[in-house]
Amino acid sequence: MKRNDYTDIICKGFCTFYKEDKEGLACGTYDFISRNLTPGELESAIRGIASTPDLTFDRKIQGLICEKCDFVIGSCDFREGLESPPCGGYTIIEWLLKREPLAHSIREYLSYRRGIHLLARQ
């Protein structure tokens, strides 16, 4: 279930797909951010954020977050190549990955998660 504080920051602030009547829906990046940052940490971390991602970390974000997202199959216009921007959470994750020292801890976490994911496949 989505929380208003995260929804205000992530969805209303950055997502072009956000709709008021879809409050129960959350993308993979929303889930990742809300599990790993408090609203206060998130607000602090996104100060000065570029509103348009440059896709620098696309492979990493796709492999570790997007592939597990419920919207990827059949409803992610960005991943389906429909010349659409990624979700607002993607924009935030990319920004966080570019920032130090926060980026280091997120990269470590993502690498850890990837390791767990790979172990689960064995």
Residue 106: predicted pLDDT: 64
Q: Return per-residue pLDDT of the chain as tens, 122 residues.
A: 678 899 999 999 998 888 888 777 888 899 989 988 899 989 988 988 877 888 888 888 888 888 888 887 667 788 887 788 888 899 999 988 887 655 566 666 566 555 444 444 44
d(CA 93, CA 105): 12
Tokens matching residue 58:
């696309």
Domain boundary assignment for the chain: 4-121
Residue 121: predicted pLDDT: 44
Give a three-class secondary structure readout of the chain.
Answer: CCCHHHHHHHHHHHCCCCCHHHCCCCCHHHHHHHHHCCHHHHHHHCCCCCCCCCCCCHHHHHHHCHHHCCCHHHHCCCCCCCCCCCCHHHHHHHHHHHCCCHHHHHHHHHHHHHHHHHHHHC
Tokens matching residue 74:
């059949």
- The model's pTM: 0.76
Look at the block and give the residue holding tokens 């492999």: 63
Q: How far is CA 52 from CA 11, 23, 114, in A?
A: 14, 24, 26
